[in-house]
Amino acid sequence: MNRKELDLSPFFSFAVEHVGVGVHAIDLKGKTILYNKKMKEIEGFDFEELADRSLLEMFRFDQHESTLLEVLQSGTPVLNAKQTYWNRKGQEITTINDTYPVFDGQQMIGAIELSRDVTRLEKVVYQPLKKYEEPVTFTSLTAVSDSMKNVINTAEKAAIAQLSVMLIGESGTGKELIAEAIHWASSDGELHTLYCHGTDEQLIEQLAENLNENGSGTVYCERIDLLPFALQTRLLEMAREYSNHSITFIASVGEDPVELVAEKKLMKELYYFFSALTIKIEPLRNRKEDIMPFVEDYFSRHRMKFGSVVKGVDEDVKRLFLAYDWPGNLKELELLLDETTSLLTTEEVVTEELLPSHFKLKVNKDGKLRPEDFLVHTTKELPPLEEYLLEAEIYYLEKVMDLHHGNVTKAAAALGMSRQNLQYRLRKIKKNEGQT
Ligand SMILES: Nc1ncnc2c1ncn2[C@@H]1O[C@H](COP(=O)(O)OP(=O)(O)OP(=O)(O)O)[C@@H](O)[C@H]1O
């Protein structure tokens, strides 16, 4: 068979499904036509959860989708765009994305995004210590809520007693900062951090060598629940051996350790090693009193570091900040403030217009529907198809209008429909809302 006769499409399909980068492509109407396994992994999808995947994918409107639509409109590629966000499982993900328009001859037929997951690399490079430019102490942490005050209280006691500690909390709740504060309050030695996500045997052995060389200090094992079982055994051996040599071990996990043990994600013995003192850090959505003090601290650090004039946020922004759930906790808030302040010039007060549009899209301002509302759950009563499609239409059109800042002409072009058609549908939605 010569090359011309060979149908390559099964090979292309195989390659797209198995390649190590996330691939997401949309057609001219903005509809998802390709969404590979790696992209689902990055986005944290549980396949069983998705009884109606194609519909859900149509309604995805997060960062990826907005760059794809941007490229579709401009016809020019956006390359090397770094994004940090929290996926559906609440895991912090950093990707570097290249987004291209796709042409068939002269004609544009869609856009494609290629995402490289650089989360682990980012973790190693991102060092909170450097950000604060001085060792983190308990006083550098924002703790206004009662639950956070308790956390600091217990952590201070752990530092005095030099106990092994297990920190429990979602991504971005400040576990690493607390570990550092414990370290600086309890030891003159070195702080070693083992990032368990994607680590290997070699790194663990390297850590053991370092511990042999440096007599005392602290080992912070970040997210031990992400360490494969075989490596958990090795870590336990090491923790038992070196904790007798004036080395304090601190570990962190992303959720309840008892459940992690039951789910066989965490070795029972490793849990027992750390279980003498566990500190649970509540997610930010359960201690919203910490939000505005953190924002104030952030701006005061910003003024000192960059000589900026920014004083704070206005009432509307405050309302949005307090309404949002912050799945990425204070780290997500910090990254949002980094992004917002990088665009400020002479503004003293941050208003809603100055916030990045992806954040405004995410804030569920008025109890409107969200993508997860379109998941089909076997346990929930199923709505009739007509009702489901009507809600889906409202959700989709409102998101597209937001994305185009209320410009009907641009939104209609992205949706592949006439301006009149879109206006008619929007009027219908308004009328329905008026009746409810
Ligand atoms: N209580 C806090 N006070 C001040 N800053 C905080 C606090 N909690 C979190 N942050 C901010 O969030 C950033 C991330 O926190 P940190 O890395 O410690 O979270 P984490 O719980 O270890 O997350 P992960 O599980 O993803 O590693 C910090 O650099 C800091 O800027």
| Any domain includes 363 | no
How many angstroms is it from 88 CA to the middle of ligand 1?
19
Domain of 211? 127-282
Q: Is the pLDDT of residue 288 over 50?
A: yes
How many angstroms is it from 172 CA to the middle of ligand 1?
5
- Whether residue 262 sits in one domain with residue 161: yes
Nearest to 113 by CA among 53, 26, 11: 26
Nearest to 360 by CA among 408, 404, 422: 404
pTM, full prediction: 0.69
Domain end among 322, 352, 382: 352
| Any domain includes 93 | yes
| Pocket test residue of 151, 331, 335 for ligand 1, highest count of atoms within 8 A of CB | 331
Q: How far apart are CA 423 and CA 425, in angstroms?
A: 5
Q: How far apart are CA 66 and CA 10, in angstroms?
A: 30
Q: Is the pLDDT of residue 289 over 90?
A: yes
Domain end among 352, 382, 410: 352
Q: What's the CATH code of the domain at 110?
A: 3.30.450.20
Residue-level pLDDT at 130:
45
Residue-level pLDDT at 52:
45
Residue-level pLDDT at 223:
93
Whose CA is closest to atom 25 on ligand 1?
Answer: 171
pLDDT category at 129 given cuts 50, 70, 90 is very low
How many angstroms is it from 171 CA to the middle of ligand 1?
8
> 45 phi and psi, to 5 degrees?
-80, 140
Nearest to 321 by CA among 345, 299, 283, 289: 289
Residue-level pLDDT at 392:
83
| Any domain includes 34 | yes
Q: Please report where in the chains the tokens 């010569």 appear, as a residue.
A: 2
Q: Write the pLDDT tens digit of every residue in 214-272.
A: 667 899 999 999 898 889 999 999 999 888 778 899 999 999 999 999 988 999 999 99
Percent of the chain with pLDDT over 70: 84
Q: Cα-Cα-Cα-Cα dihedral of 212, 214, 215, 217, to 10°?
A: -120
Residue-level pLDDT at 427:
83
- Whether residue 276 sits in one domain with residue 140: yes
Q: What's the CATH code of the domain at 340?
A: 1.10.8.60
- Whether residue 134 sits in one domain with residue 104: no
Residues with Cβ < 8 Å from 167, sequence gap 6 or more?
175, 178, 179, 250, 251, 252, 253, 278, 279, 281
Q: Write the pLDDT tens digit of every residue in 348-395.
A: 999 988 888 778 777 754 455 566 666 666 655 677 787 778 878 888
- Whether residue 206 sits in one domain with residue 169: yes
Q: Which atom of ligand 1 is nearest to the CA of 178?
A: 18
- Residue of higher predicted confidence among 185 and 54: 185
Number of domains in the chain: 4
